[in-house]
Chains A and B, each alone.
Chain A
Amino acid sequence: MLTYFVIIPVLIAVFLFVFATNKAARVLAILFQSVFVILSLYLLWETRSGEIVVVIGDYDGFMGILLRAYTTSAVFMVLCGIIFLAVAVYSFNQSDSRTFWFLLFILQSALVGLFLTRDLFNIFVLVEVATVIVTILLMYDKKRRNMLPGLIFLMLNIVAMLLYLFGIGYIYMLTGVFDILRAGELLAYAYPGDLVIPYALIMTGIAFKCSIIPIFSFLPKVKLYPKAPSAVAAILSGVQIKTMVYMFIRMQEMFGGFSSHSLFLAVGIAASLTGVIMAICQTDIKMILAYHTMSQVGLIIIGLSAGNEYSMLGGLYHIISHATFKSALFLSAGIIVHSYGTRDVYKIRGVLRRMPVVGLVTLFAVLGITGAPLFIGSISKYFIAATVPFWLNATVVIISLGTIISFIKYAGVLFGKDPGIEGIAVKPDIWRVVPSAALGAFCLVGGIFGGFLVNFLFAADAVIDTWGYIEKALIFFASMGAGLLIYKYIVYGNATLKRIGGLNLGFRSVCASMAAFFGLMVIFVGLF
């Protein structure tokens, strides 16, 4: 049954491309996406009673390729389905060609495959497929001048995956299997010195792909976001990076006791701090959102590497919440940019008056990402920081403060007087408002029922301590006040910050930094 989840999107893609007309294709696409969401919910229900393993080919044991669905992967598949459904509805009137749907379905197939597969080499192939398709989706509109950052993005990703391929060669040499779980069991008996190089190779590749190596891995990517279509940006930030975070979890599991959590804790902290600092420096609304992807992924990695149950749950739930509010933000930002004709955060004003629903969605999502009480971000941030040592807790608070400052800037677009000059002042397209509104509403629903959802989705029994939660809420309001003050007196219109925000790295320097990170990792892992 799991095989069909991967194969059917491909068949549908071909079917839509060959047989359907442009008009029929979009209706059918939405229909198929809805069916996919329902089926993946059913799969989630099935995995409750134990994991499902399917062997492709009639081989016993670890000779064939294994697909495995268990709770976490099923949750991510539901998430993937929901974001793709939202994107499909969002693009209903926008994309007038079947090629878009073709690429979208192939991409979905690759991402679902990544969530299900247990085979190390499959991961390589599927990641390459996903990278190429994302690049094509970004290049789709030649007028947008996206070609140079696109080329750099593609080449760097290829280099990162070559590092990964080199690493799994070592794994195969040591264990003789490609199955992640079996390799994990066998690696436990390996001599630790043998594992240094493969670990460094694989984790450099994966960390590069999920953009947690501070700054230089994200800079080439970030240039793509402003000109990318909002729907593609939502997929890129909402789902594609999540697949790599999921790979990160599994690779850490595979290396078991050998894997270094403290290194990635530091890397996560560095990533989220640089992410928020760079976000504060931006004046382009999509750039602000793009840099926040980096900081939030850093936060997820902090949660996953902190080494206790609650933080792990928080990290996993933060993947869901980040996917929700970031897609909502990107989709609504697409509507805003379309209506105002500019991306300058200081020029857009009065969204709440011009488009009340879109304004509300943005407000909800902003409250979600800043971790306001009752919204979705607060639950995951609460879990991440619930049982960690004091210094880490303080770091998380500082990161939230940075988030709040940059989103005060972002939320400025909601209020004030409508400039009304450059505006095309059309009524926003209903097909674009509805999915954004649904995702925005989920920011609130996921917050109110947060405790229940965490336990239901990840089959855990975590308790939210009321007093702890209230304490977090108080901290939130305090940092809100501090953020307002800092924004008003330091950040607003600061020229130095704008210069930092314009930082750019070429292909060569990024490659050099990747090599440096690899060296650092070999030294760190080798010594400790």
Chain B
Amino acid sequence: MFFIALFGLITAKNAIKTIVFTLVMQTAVIMFWLFLSGRTGTIPPIIYDPALLYDMAAIADPTPQALMLTAIIIGISVTAIKITMLNYLFRRYNTADWELMHKLSAQEEAENPYS
């Protein structure tokens, strides 16, 4: 999944698609982390069961899950910033295509160099 997303990042022409692929990549990393914490047969660490309280092998490792919450929050906020910036660019150039955006910004640059 991670490398599918990487492939997507390389090939996607549209900036919106690129943002979506970054999200896919992030989900892949989060899934990987959750896979680290939960082996088959373990229970989630929020279920309170006195019998299993001190049985480390039965409870899934809560640390990666806690960390992934942080990572998800970071991902959301960063995506918000990216979309805001893209929105600004879209209003300016009227396109979300990487190559067209590059071309238009290079034109602007050529019209008014060193300023």
Contacts and interface: CB of A to CB of B under 8 A. Distances in A.
Interface of A: 121, 124-125, 128, 132, 135-136, 139, 142, 145, 147-148, 150-151, 154-155, 158-159, 162, 165-166, 169, 172-173, 284, 342-344, 504, 506-508, 511-512, 515
A121 B67 contact: yes
Interface in B56-105: 63-64, 67, 70-71, 74, 77-78, 81-82, 85-86, 88-89, 92, 98-99, 101-102, 105
A139 B29 contact: no
B43 interface: no
B36 interface: yes
A364 to B, nearest CB: 25
Contact of A148 (B13, B29, B63, B101): B101
Nearest to A227: B115
Contacts of A158: 22, 78, 82
A155 B12 CA distance: 14
A128 B99 contact: no
Given A172-B36, A343-B114, A151 B99 contact: no
A173 B36 contact: yes
Nearest to A142: B88
A148 B22 contact: no
Interface string B37-49: 0000000000000
B108 interface: yes
Contact of B25 (A154, A162, A343, A344): A162
Contacts of B113: 344
Per DSSP, chain A at the interface is: helix
B99 A154 contact: no
Given A145-B108, A508-B12, A172 B99 contact: no
Interface residues of B, number: 43
A169 B102 contact: no
Nearest to B33: A169
B92 to A, nearest CB: 7
Contact of B98 (A125, A145, A342, A507): A507
B81 to A, nearest CB: 6
Contacts of A162: 22, 25-26, 29
Contact of A147 (B6, B33, B92): B92
B62 to A, nearest CB: 12
A284 B113 CA distance: 10
A511 B15 CA distance: 13
Interface of B: 2, 6, 9-13, 15, 18-19, 22, 25-26, 29, 32-33, 36, 63-64, 67, 70-71, 74, 77-78, 81-82, 85-86, 88-89, 92, 98-99, 101-102, 105-106, 108-109, 113-115
A150 B85 contact: yes
A172 B26 CA distance: 18
Contact of A511 (B10, B33, B88): B10
B91 to A, nearest CB: 10
B114 A151 contact: no
Given A162-B25, A165-B71, A515-B6, A155 B88 contact: no
Contact of A155 (B10, B22, B74): B22
A511 B29 contact: no
Given A507-B18, A508-B11, A511-B10, A151 B86 contact: yes
From B92, B98, B106, name the one whose CB has the most chain A CB atoms within 10 angstroms.
Answer: B98
A504 B64 CA distance: 39
9 contacts: A135-B81, A151-B89, A165-B71, A166-B32, A169-B33, A342-B114, A507-B98, A511-B10, A515-B10
A148 B12 contact: no
Given A507-B18, A511-B6, 8 more contacts: A121-B67, A125-B74, A151-B89, A154-B82, A158-B82, A162-B22, A508-B11, A515-B6
Contact of A508 (B10, B22, B26): B10
Contact of B85 (A147, A172, A506, A508): A147
Given A165-B71, A506-B102, A155 B6 contact: no
A125 B92 contact: no
Contacts of B106: 504
A145 B67 contact: no
Given A132-B81, A155-B18, A508 B98 contact: yes
A125 B101 contact: no
A154 B86 CA distance: 11
